[in-house]
A = this chain, B = another copy of it.
Amino acid sequence: MPDTQSPTRKRIVDAATRLFYAEGIGRVSVDAVAEEAGLTKRTLYYHFKSKDDLIAAYLDGRDQPNLRRMAGWFDAAEGGADRKVEAIFTNLARSARHPKWKGCGFLRTAAELASMPGHPAVKVGARHKLNFETWLAGALSDHGVGEPPALAREIVLLIDGCFSIMLIHRNPDYIEAAGRAAATLVRARISGSQV
């Protein structure tokens, strides 16, 4: 039984992360991952029982880093909850301008696996998105905004809308627009009025 902490396994996941994110899971062969990791396919199959297994491991490795990045942007921003939420979008727009940016790995993988809803990688993605939504609801609650769970969900929808539409238009203006919409939704709950 392979060691789940082994440095070899980590090297494989790192290689898979680079390639899967850059090209998409369907366009990257197991051979290519093995080569990128500097070992043979047989070794890769010693550590992972299938390509599907490797895909799930790739996404699992992105869960915490992604969460920390988003939380960092929120925490670092000045101002009230509306400004902090908008800061997430501003920072997202900045990263999206980087030429290597290819959207959200979780969403892109789910899109590629749309015909296999029970795929383990989709489940990992669902857990990640739920983790984020839960964290955001808590953060909004800490800032005294009304209905944190409902608001967090609406913001999540705008964020994932950005990720998707950016892959079509490649125009960060959409992210800025989503940020303004999110701020509007936050303020609708700060004023307490049922707008």
Contacts and interface: CB of A to CB of B under 8 A. Distances in A.
A114 B110 contact: no
Interface in A17-67: 22-24, 26-27
Interface string A145-176: 00000100110111111111101111000100
B167 A156 contact: no
Given A115-B24, A188-B184, A188-B195, A129 B168 contact: yes
Categorize the interface residue count of chain A.
Answer: 35 or more
A26 B158 CA distance: 27
Interface in A86-142: 102-103, 106-108, 110-112, 114-115, 117, 122, 125-126, 129-130
Interface of A: 22-24, 26-27, 102-103, 106-108, 110-112, 114-115, 117, 122, 125-126, 129-130, 150, 153-154, 156-165, 167-170, 174, 177-178, 180-181, 184-185, 187-188, 191, 195
